[in-house]
Structure 1
């Protein structure tokens, strides 16, 4: 499902609308790349997070730390062309693009919730692995993800938190399946589908307040995780991890700005990705996971993409 927000192009783009993609634009070369934080600073922050999670002085169970990567390319990237490629890259996922007048475009691939009348659907997503090169390899990687104790801990925190928050404003909260693999072209995740029914139409505006920020973008408990991010994350998240969407009478829909990119008018693209830190986390493994998540945005800029 693809949606587009903007002031100049002030319309939503439906999921069945076709984008013509310029072949030359997307075959870009990366001229320069730098990360904030650096790998050394990342390791220090993750180590500190693990120390606090294992300690007895705080109740911190999970914190999401993020990285901002600046890619300098030899051509400019058009936001709508990138959006079109993300739709191919993440079929059956939710893509968004928001571009205020004379400002950078914010493009991403995620979902927070969808409401139709009183019915709400959401998805818990955590844990990331690459897809395998063969069917057997892909199956083995998926099984390792399903059986990982660390990934199950992270995923369970996200799923149970969303369920608990929905139960505050909804009846009939159903989780089905409770845990499954969500396979995308480049990555696979642990996933659970949640469905619920609002108790009252007047509760519509409480949905966003209840669901955001989730442990998938902040941590648990929320305030402890938020404070840790303030203290140890060394860049301004800006639009990253913020909600993007709309309220509209009979229907509302919101994404959350993760697995995202900020595209200016020049040759610079900021790509954002985050990783959940829980007990058992390995700093280097999580750094590699950031590369894997960023590849969903970066790789599509360097390949042809038609549909």
Structure 2
């Protein structure tokens, strides 16, 4: 049921609960389900009390502020980060070049864990019961899965990379992030809960998301606002770990010394720092990146922190930061134009913000990477996405290999790798 907030206030109740075990087990096979988990912490969300489809994060922020002001919330744990009513969202990378809308969902039931604290929030008609929902049905593995190809073949995409390198070397743009896709089909509708469970098991240090047909495990936190503190993790510069016989420590050393990867990373850090600065009273930007190791790749990583102005919500910060140089390029407007002209791909909600915001404006927004999308009209198909940052020293074959490494988490989750 979608409630008409213009006519009645909504009541919400948050209660402490015993540890419910793995949260993902409460996701049912049907209905509106959302999840945002990392290292077993976060939440799953069931049902839909309200839904807002939009083209901009700014409009979503205004809508959620209006809704928040109409929610009466009784809580056993006031002030605990992430508890209480939430809006969960997934936004398009470029609304001007996408046929799809962004979405913000207010769930009816939320089951969460953070540290030793576990809770359940119920909204609207769902608030009357203190019992946990029943566990979901058995997960279904994909059957008869097969590749359908993408918008471009590998050689075609390499030629586009070469064209962009030429533009960069002529000083027409500094960096462009190019993406490619891969479509797969199954005999039966794809059970995204199965895909999500495999991602949680294989990539526990990432932010695993499941929102309105989008599923993935992203290593990149666009922004977290917790009280007066703001954090953003920037990832740019990548090396795959599928090189047989090469010590990962050697690869990490090479990555940290790679002028190409360092230049790509610096563009991304600068874009995030500039976007955050107007909203912060103070900021800390590390002088050099660290190396973040994941099961399939390593990234150069920088965690930017700051003290945020009190009237700036996590959703508004996400709007200010997106699209960063890590997923678009530098300068942003030129990179967007080049992507739109050359990429031949509607990214939809790939590389857009995905996450949540609460009624106080706190929240977490990641970038929807290492993922895929299942659409309601084609439930047997999933579209995977992967991208690479192109700079002056980029080699088309190496960039194609990088996207292949970034497809690996979803291919593993679907049983193909």
State the 1:51 CA deviation: 1.3
Match of 2:369 among 253, 258, 262: 258
Asked if structure 1 preserves the Cα contact closer than 8 Å seen for 2:196 and 2:215, the reply is yes
Match of 1:77 among 168, 171, 190: 190
Residue-by-residue CA offset, 1:5-49 (whole Å, 9 max, x unaligned): 6755655564679x98967616x5642341222123212211211
Bigger RCO (CA 8 Å, 6+ sep)? 1
Partner residue, 2:205: 92
Partner residue, 1:236: 346
Residue-by-residue CA offset, 1:153-206 (whole Å, 9 max, x unaligned): 1111111221222222113211347311111122211111111111x2223254
Match of 2:279 among 169, 186, 190: 169
State the 1:52 CA deviation: 1.1
Structure 2 residue 362 is the aligned partner of structure 1 residue 247: no
Asked if structure 1 preserves the Cα contact closer than 8 Å seen for 2:203 and 2:294, the reply is yes
CA 1:172–1:29: 2 relative to 1, 3 Å: farther
Q: Name the SS of the counterpart of 1:228 in structure 2.
A: helix
Greater CA radius of gyration, 1 or 2? 2
Unaligned runs of 5+ in 1: 100-104
Partner residue, 1:291: 404
Q: Name the SS of the counterpart of 1:112 in structure 2.
A: strand
Asked if structure 2 preserves the Cα contact closer than 8 Å seen for 1:244 and 1:255, the reply is yes
Instruction: State which drifts further: 219-228 or 4-13.
Output: 4-13
Partner residue, 1:124: 234
Unaligned runs of 5+ in 2: 1-37, 49-106, 119-134
When normalised by structure 1's length, the TM-score is: 0.85
CA 1:229–1:85: 2 relative to 1, 3 Å: same
Task: Give 1:52-201 correspondences, 5 Å limit.
Answer: 52-56=167-171, 58=172, 60-73=173-186, 76-99=189-212, 105-110=213-218, 111-131=221-241, 137-176=247-286, 178-198=288-308, 200-201=309-310
Counterpart Cα distance in 1 of 2:287 and 2:196: 29
Instruction: State which drifts further: 72-81 or 241-250.
Output: 72-81
Asked if structure 1 preserves the Cα contact closer than 8 Å seen for 2:145 and 2:184, the reply is yes
Task: Give 1:198-213 correspondences, 5 Å limit.
Answer: 198=308, 200-204=309-313, 206-213=316-323
